[in-house]
A and B are shown apart, each in its own frame.
Chain A
Amino acid sequence: MDGLSDLIRRKSASIALIIGVFVFWEVACLIGGISDIVLPRPTQIIASLIQYWPAIRPHAGQTLFTTLAGFGIGVLIGVAFGVAIGSSRLAYDTAYPLLVGISSIPKVAVVPIFVLWFGAGTVPAILTAAIICIFPIVVNVATGIATVEPELEDVMKTLKASKWDILWNVSLPRAMPYFFASLKVAVTLAFVGSVVAETVASNRGIGNMMMVASSTFNVPLVFAGLFILAGLGVGLYAIFSLAESRVTGWAHRKDLAVT
């Protein structure tokens, strides 16, 4: 009972804060007389969201598609590399410097290269989303696998367990909390990648729509695009949070104890 009311109190506080920010924004714009060319009020943004919805929807679908496609590719490659690097000392020592080097490149800078290779449109957006979310996944999966207790490894080895046995029964389940933590980061990063690529080189997607809207000074529509991106990002984050608590509840036993 105590736990439940505590949960409601925490949730209601954060909801109140969100509503409060929007009310403050609205009131400040009204009192300050700020033009909607500079900063539209939330009500104006919502109005334009409704007004342009038929035009916005395909763009939102495109951005969601490129983000998820890129994210999916990133997860596959990230997990494969993470497992390889985490389970072998040699692979770790060999590949880690290269990975750090690649990760320190601002991913936005590779968009022109992708455009050069694949032309403007969907493919550069997917690839940018993929490349931007690979690194956090690789590092987290590798960490989860490499930090298996040596005593546990000894126990498994005395059972004559193969490398595959150890990976499947011990290392991979153990890496799951690390993996899901990285998924939440990666999915938001994937949005950054796809929107940046759309802004630079595409005629579809929310990024492109915002570029077009800003060039015609339709500022409420630019902000409507931001709202859509925020909504998509929060939605995906929530989905992966839920999946995380389902799959790796054992690693969050304090949360479990509350409910």
Chain B
Amino acid sequence: MTLALAKVAPPPDDGMAAQETGSPETDGAARVSSARPFIEFEKVTVRFGKGDKQVQALSETSLAIAEGDFVALVGPSGCGKSTLLKLVGDLLKPSTGHVFVGGRELGATPIRIGMAYQNPTLLPWMNIRDNVMLPLKIVPPFRSEFSAKRKTEFRDRVEALLAQVGLAGFGDKFPWQLSGGMMQRANLCRALIHEPDLLLLDEPFGALDQFTREELWQIMQDLWMSKKTTVLLVTHDLREAGFLANRICVMSARPGRILDDSPVAFARPRGIDMTYEAEFVALNQRLRSLIVAARGGTGIVQAGGH
């Protein structure tokens, strides 16, 4: 089934761009696949609680993600998507199995990680520039240079990144002076300012209206195409997953496991119009039916039991 999707032809209106951006991407993928995967889950399970109250959040999962890839995790609520993300971010230890990032077991990894949640969690006492700069104050090697460069080089970096997401000139504003979409852009900047090797996104656009969301998808795509950071995106929105990701993993209802793993071969840069074309809609419908089936399996039984 994965092969069938890989063959999906690029949409006609983006045909030219597809050939230009398509080939270096496949080269990159080929180069990385020969080495060890960037992120590797080896028979990982996660259980919460003890004794009778124990809940299995993640059943045995193995997954490999290549460096520079953009992977979306979709699935019914409470299926362990965020658990998977927290494992990669070293916020949670697996109950059994191993998670390797950058070829080393978690905890021993020197890689830099950026993270953004649906809640922008910008610090209200700092302006946007200082908020975005916060990781530079904490993450080495920037940390040691922070006091020397905060008013020069780092400031310019923050301004450049803000300009890239359309927030040029907003550095002096405070979070409460910004709209939800703008705060989320600043949140993305904060997750990217320290040039992370890995970006973890947990429904970052979930609380935004549709038009703002689509705008941010495009900004996210531009950011990814310019930085080639490995991205792991958790989302409920199948259009979002299809628009942004190179690869979509569908998870089952709790205890989560990966039901389906499909590449998304649409050429980049992708436009919003693409999401209304036949191939895209077909992909969406296939993913949707998988998730509906996954929900139905346990969801209905649980509903009857209560």
Contact B138 A149, beta carbon cutoff 8 Å: no
Contact A151 B117, beta carbon cutoff 8 Å: yes
Contact A173 B135, beta carbon cutoff 8 Å: no
Residues of A within 8 A of B89 (CB): 154, 157-158
Contact B123 A173, beta carbon cutoff 8 Å: yes
Residues of A within 8 A of B114 (CB): 158
Contact B174 A250, beta carbon cutoff 8 Å: yes
Contact B134 A169, beta carbon cutoff 8 Å: yes
The total of interchain contacts (Cβ-Cβ below 8 angstroms) comes to 55
Residues of A within 8 A of B134 (CB): 169
Contact B138 A157, beta carbon cutoff 8 Å: no
Answer yes or no: B285 CB below 8 A from chain A CBs: no
Contact A151 B119, beta carbon cutoff 8 Å: yes
Contact A160 B138, beta carbon cutoff 8 Å: yes
Contact B137 A155, beta carbon cutoff 8 Å: no
**Shortest beta-carbon distance, A4 to chain B, in Å?**
22
Residue on A nearest B86 in the bound complex, by CB: A154
Residues of B within 8 A of A251 (CB): 124-125
**Shortest beta-carbon distance, A225 to chain B, in Å?**
41
Contact A158 B176, beta carbon cutoff 8 Å: no
Contact A156 B138, beta carbon cutoff 8 Å: yes
Residue on B nearest A149 in the bound complex, by CB: B121
Contact A155 B117, beta carbon cutoff 8 Å: yes
**Shortest beta-carbon distance, A241 to chain B, in Å?**
18
Residues of B within 8 A of A10 (CB): none
Contact A170 B123, beta carbon cutoff 8 Å: yes
Interface centre among A160, A165, A248 (most CB of B within 10 A): A160
Chain A proximity mask over B107-127: 1 for CB below 8 Å, otherwise 0: 000000111110101011100
Answer yes or no: A185 CB below 8 A from chain B CBs: no
Answer yes or no: B139 CB below 8 A from chain A CBs: yes
Interface size in chain B (residues, C-beta < 8 A) = 25
Answer yes or no: A161 CB below 8 A from chain B CBs: yes
Interface centre among B91, B121, B176, B194 (most CB of A within 10 A): B121
**Shortest beta-carbon distance, B23 to chain A, in Å?**
34
Answer yes or no: B90 CB below 8 A from chain A CBs: yes
Contact A159 B119, beta carbon cutoff 8 Å: no
Contact B125 A158, beta carbon cutoff 8 Å: no
Range of interface residues on chain A?
20 to 34
Given contacts A161-B138, A253-B176, contact A154 B117 (CB under 8 A): yes
Answer yes or no: B200 CB below 8 A from chain A CBs: yes
Contact A165 B138, beta carbon cutoff 8 Å: yes
**CB-contacts of B119-158 with A (<8 A):** 119, 121, 123-125, 134-135, 137-139
Interface centre among B116, B123, B194 (most CB of A within 10 A): B123
Contact A158 B121, beta carbon cutoff 8 Å: no
**CB-contacts of A119-135 with B (<8 A):** none
Contact A158 B113, beta carbon cutoff 8 Å: yes
- State the CA gap A154–B138 with chains docked (Å): 14
Report which of A152, A159, A176, A248 forms a contact with B113, defined as CB distance below 8 A.
A159
Report which of A151, A152, A169, A253 forms a contact with B138, defined as CB distance below 8 A.
A169
Contact B125 A250, beta carbon cutoff 8 Å: yes
Residues of B within 8 A of A165 (CB): 138
Chain B proximity mask over A156-183: 1 for CB below 8 Å, otherwise 0: 1111110001000110011010000000
- State the CA gap A165–B116 with chains docked (Å): 19
Contact B90 A152, beta carbon cutoff 8 Å: no
Residues of A within 8 A of B176 (CB): 253
Contact A159 B138, beta carbon cutoff 8 Å: yes
Residues of B within 8 A of A174 (CB): 123, 125
Contact B121 A155, beta carbon cutoff 8 Å: yes
Residues of A within 8 A of B86 (CB): 154
**CB-contacts of A48-73 with B (<8 A):** none
Contact B137 A154, beta carbon cutoff 8 Å: no
Chain A proximity mask over B89-101: 1 for CB below 8 Å, otherwise 0: 1110000000000
Report which of A159, A170, A176, A248 forms a contact with B135, defined as CB distance below 8 A.
A159
28 residue pairs bridging A and B, Cβ less than 8 Å apart = A149-B121, A151-B121, A152-B123, A154-B86, A154-B91, A154-B115, A154-B117, A155-B116, A155-B117, A155-B121, A155-B190, A156-B138, A158-B89, A158-B113, A158-B114, A159-B113, A159-B139, A159-B194, A160-B138, A161-B138, A169-B138, A173-B125, A174-B123, A176-B125, A250-B124, A250-B174, A251-B125, A253-B174
Taking Cβ atoms with an 8 Å cutoff, the residues of A that contact B are 149, 151-152, 154-161, 165, 169-170, 173-174, 176, 248, 250-251, 253
